[in-house]
A and B are shown apart, each in its own frame.
Chain A
Amino acid sequence: MKRLFTTAAAFALMAGAAQAEGKLSVYHWFEYIPQELVDKFEAETGIEVTIDTYDSNESMLASLKAGKLGQYDVAVPADFMVKIMGDEGMLDTFTPEEMTNLGNIAPQWLDVPFDQGRKSSIPYQWGSTSFSVNRDVYPGDISSLSILFNPPEELKGKINVLDSQNEVLILGSLYLGIPQCSTDREQLKALNDMLLAAKPSWASFGSDTAKEVLVSGDAAAGMIYNGFSAKARAEGANVEYSYPKEGHVLWMDNMVLLKDAPNRENAIKFMNFLLVPENAAAVTNYAAYSSGVTGVEPFLDDAIKNSPENNPPAGITPGVFAQACDAETQKFYDAIWTNLKK
């Protein structure tokens, strides 16, 4: 009995200690941070971390707007969404003195258009979106987006497309050579017609299933993120990720400091923690993208470091970031997407 009391007292003390260090409330993508890294942060700081997850930038924005702002300390929006949240006044800023590891950010990711000079955000992971093809099914040329939008006979009816408006419409625009956020009627109509004509060649729409359908063989080609394609390859699918000649989509997920963060101090500690090369590398080893932090190489698994998905060949067409269109223009793109899905 006495021992039971001692144990209970010890637990109470530990709980008290954790309480004293406080909490951290993270709003994050599903399956995007290794649990060991969270445990490491908790052990180092005594801060208790809780993580809620979301599955799209838009649903995260919607739920923060619907009253969750003020409950979370940090979130992980993509580049264009950082801009949107910043414009809506949903982000807090930090000073370089607070963010002591700011210097670890790779130079090309420091002064980004969506957060000039990194005042509210730090890089989390970045990667690209194009498509992968199962080379057992189709050994031919895969250097064009026509694989998705005007596929060869072997791939017809065996293509999975991301269930994500932004990515589908941007890749479609690249294929037709149309600028993003176009308001030109002819161009928008051409995009609409091209997508409708391509749809019968597609087997399914799916984002979180994009890797699984390639591994299982349900799809022989699929629009996919580079890290996801690397995972498909690691799981045994003979897939090759393409950097098409028309271009591809680049994206960067960033950890942002939210406005009215209940534990601002701890949020800064966590962001500094994620900028330590060893920790950034742990995320990359888990997610198979790239980190945006300098000095991670010694900590990376060889398979990740040397993957063809993360090391595009020289001379490819550079990728483009998604732009945030204004409300008036976005309406047209929403209409095209509805037309496509109905």
Chain B
Amino acid sequence: MAGAPLPPSNGGTSWSRLKTPLLLPTWAMIGVFLLIPVLLMAVYSFLTKEFRGGVIWDFTLAAYDQFFFNRGLFGDEPPVIEWTYISIFWRSIWQAGLATVACLLVGFPTAWFIATRPPSQRSVWLFLITIPYWVNLLIRTVSLKFLIRDNGPLNEFLMGLGVITDPLPLVNTNLAVQLGLFYSYLPFMVLPIYAAVERYNFALSEAAADLYAPRWTILREVVLPVVKPGIVAGCLLVFVPSLGAFLAPDLLGGAKTYMIGSLIDEQFKGSQGNWPFGAAVAVVLMTLVLIALFLQARAAAKGARE
């Protein structure tokens, strides 16, 4: 856009005349694919559940009541705080956070390694990183299950070495879910950090070293501030989809406990078919994410002012 040559004389006015029609596709895109679905979900969360799936157009707060209050098995005891769904949220946030940290610990050195290769080799390394991700996520998750099961290759290998005598119970545990999330989203961490590190001017590190800065100080004071946008982007790209993941908990965790994603999935596909409740869970999740982003943005603005 910026490079488009404009007529020198009345360029400004013709540009502003064109601005609205040119922005229309963007607005249509945001409207059709973002605003309408989100609004639809918000509206559905206030509707009445129809017996066995679907909704009745009667407005009610029943879905939110179910989320926050427990009225006993028969629904007539005095309401107490419902910890079930809060703990599902907590567990999901914890799992997604751990996955993000694990991805960062592995992803940052990987990205650094690739970015410091000669330019001719970099694309090969990036290519190798992305190859497994040409395969469907479902297939990769199932394959991971095959690898870590009680009589799978990993346990056979470790037992063959004599490291362990009994197979490690990995499959159907939270650790397996963790492994699945880490493996699924690792490239989302590597790629943005690589993009940031690639642009880093290594003369800065040399300058800091010339001024007798120890290695850790160089990393902390010089490198990290420059590549921070890449790290933040990578963390968001791993954390957000991990939060909503349902393949890993279902297949690797044995579907024994819900994460947010599988809880919502069950409301729309399962036998209970409670669409308003599923929509309400999604609305609560989105509200939490928006609040977190808002607080983060405010803190960032405050930091910039100081």
- Please give the residue numbers on chain A whose beta carbons come within 8 Å of chain B beta carbons, in ascending order: 56-59, 61-62, 65-66, 84, 157, 163-166, 185, 188-189, 192, 199, 202-206, 209, 216-218, 327, 330-332, 334-339, 341-342
Q: Is the pair B272, A165 in contact by a Cβ cutoff of 8 Å?
A: yes
Closest B residue to A218 by CB, please name it. Answer: B149
Q: Is the pair B270, A58 in contact by a Cβ cutoff of 8 Å?
A: yes
Q: Is the pair B255, A163 in contact by a Cβ cutoff of 8 Å?
A: yes
Within 8 Å CB of B74, what residues of A? 185, 188, 332
- Please give the residue numbers on chain B whose beta carbons come within 8 Å of chain A beta carbons, in ascending order: 50-54, 73-75, 84-85, 88, 146, 149-151, 169, 171-172, 251, 254-258, 266, 268-274
The distance from the CB of B138 to the nearest CB of chain A, in whole angstroms, is: 12
Main secondary structure of the interface of B (DSSP, over half): loop
| Bound-complex Cα distance A192 to B266 (A) | 20
Within 8 Å CB of B169, what residues of A? 157
Other than the known A56-B270, A202-B256, A204-B256, what 10 A-B pairs have Cβ atoms closer than 8 Å? Answer: A57-B271, A58-B271, A61-B52, A165-B272, A188-B74, A204-B255, A205-B255, A327-B51, A332-B73, A335-B73
Q: Known contacts A217-B150, A332-B73; decide if A58 and B52 are in contact (CB<8 Å).
A: yes
| Bound-complex Cα distance A188 to B73 (A) | 9
| Bound-complex Cα distance A52 to B52 (A) | 21
| Bound-complex Cα distance A157 to B172 (A) | 10
13 sample A-B contacts, Cβ–Cβ < 8 Å, listed by A number: A56-B270, A58-B269, A62-B269, A65-B53, A204-B172, A205-B254, A209-B251, A216-B149, A217-B151, A218-B172, A330-B51, A336-B73, A341-B266
The distance from the CB of B250 to the nearest CB of chain A, in whole angstroms, is: 8
Within 8 Å CB of B269, what residues of A? 56, 58-59, 62
| Bound-complex Cα distance A327 to B52 (A) | 9
Within 8 Å CB of A185, what residues of B? 74
Q: Is the pair A342, B270 in contact by a Cβ cutoff of 8 Å?
A: no
The distance from the CB of A336 to the nearest CB of chain B, in whole angstroms, is: 7
Q: Is the pair A62, B255 in contact by a Cβ cutoff of 8 Å?
A: no
**Which among B172, B270, B273 is the interface contact of A203 at CB below 8 angstroms?**
B172
Residue among B151, B251, B256 with most chain A CB within 10 A: B256
Within 8 Å CB of B256, what residues of A? 199, 202, 204-205, 341
| Bound-complex Cα distance A280 to B23 (A) | 60
The distance from the CB of A9 to the nearest CB of chain B, in whole angstroms, is: 40
The distance from the CB of A334 to the nearest CB of chain B, in whole angstroms, is: 5
Within 8 Å CB of A62, what residues of B? 52-54, 268-269, 273
Within 8 Å CB of B270, what residues of A? 56, 58, 165
Closest A residue to B83 by CB, please name it. Answer: A342
Within 8 Å CB of A217, what residues of B? 149-151
Q: Is the pair A58, B53 in contact by a Cβ cutoff of 8 Å?
A: yes
Rank and list the top 10 A-B pairs by shortest CB-CB distance, nearest first.
A204-B254, A62-B53, A205-B255, A327-B51, A165-B271, A58-B271, A342-B84, A334-B272, A65-B54, A204-B172
| Bound-complex Cα distance A97 to B119 (A) | 77
The distance from the CB of B37 to the nearest CB of chain A, in whole angstroms, is: 16
| Bound-complex Cα distance A283 to B49 (A) | 37
| Bound-complex Cα distance A157 to B171 (A) | 11
Q: Is the pair B272, A338 in contact by a Cβ cutoff of 8 Å?
A: yes
The distance from the CB of A331 to the nearest CB of chain B, in whole angstroms, is: 7
| Bound-complex Cα distance A209 to B50 (A) | 30
Residue among A84, A163, A327, A337 with most chain B CB within 10 A: A163
The distance from the CB of A131 to the nearest CB of chain B, in whole angstroms, is: 17
Q: Known contacts A188-B73, A332-B74; decide if A206 and B54 are in contact (CB<8 Å).
A: no
Within 8 Å CB of A56, what residues of B? 269-271
Within 8 Å CB of A66, what residues of B? 53-54
Residue among B51, B171, B172, B273 with most chain A CB within 10 A: B172
| Bound-complex Cα distance A203 to B257 (A) | 11
Residue among B84, B149, B255 with most chain A CB within 10 A: B255
Closest B residue to A158 by CB, please name it. Answer: B150
Closest B residue to A65 by CB, please name it. Answer: B54
The distance from the CB of B18 to the nearest CB of chain A, in whole angstroms, is: 41
Within 8 Å CB of B73, what residues of A? 188-189, 192, 332, 335-336, 339
The distance from the CB of B261 to the nearest CB of chain A, in whole angstroms, is: 14
Closest A residue to B149 by CB, please name it. Answer: A218
The distance from the CB of A221 to the nearest CB of chain B, in whole angstroms, is: 14
| Bound-complex Cα distance A338 to B72 (A) | 12
Q: Known contacts A204-B172, A341-B258; decide if A331 and B150 are in contact (CB<8 Å).
A: no
The distance from the CB of B25 to the nearest CB of chain A, in whole angstroms, is: 29
Q: Is the pair B54, A218 in contact by a Cβ cutoff of 8 Å?
A: no
Q: Is the pair A58, B151 in contact by a Cβ cutoff of 8 Å?
A: no
Within 8 Å CB of B271, what residues of A? 56-58, 164-166, 337
Closest B residue to A206 by CB, please name it. Answer: B255
Within 8 Å CB of B258, what residues of A? 341-342
Q: Is the pair B88, A342 in contact by a Cβ cutoff of 8 Å?
A: yes
| Bound-complex Cα distance A209 to B258 (A) | 18
| Bound-complex Cα distance A231 to B269 (A) | 27
| Bound-complex Cα distance A336 to B272 (A) | 11
The distance from the CB of A75 to the nearest CB of chain B, in whole angstroms, is: 15
| Bound-complex Cα distance A216 to B142 (A) | 13
Within 8 Å CB of B255, what residues of A? 163, 204-206, 341
| Bound-complex Cα distance A166 to B257 (A) | 19
| Bound-complex Cα distance A185 to B72 (A) | 12
The distance from the CB of B304 to the nearest CB of chain A, in whole angstroms, is: 43
The distance from the CB of A298 to the nearest CB of chain B, in whole angstroms, is: 39
Closest B residue to A164 by CB, please name it. Answer: B271
Closest B residue to A341 by CB, please name it. Answer: B258
Within 8 Å CB of B52, what residues of A? 58, 61-62, 84
**Which among B171, B257, B268 is the interface contact of A342 at CB below 8 angstroms?**
B257
Closest A residue to B152 by CB, please name it. Answer: A216
**Which among B53, B151, B251, B266 is the interface contact of A61 at CB below 8 angstroms?**
B53
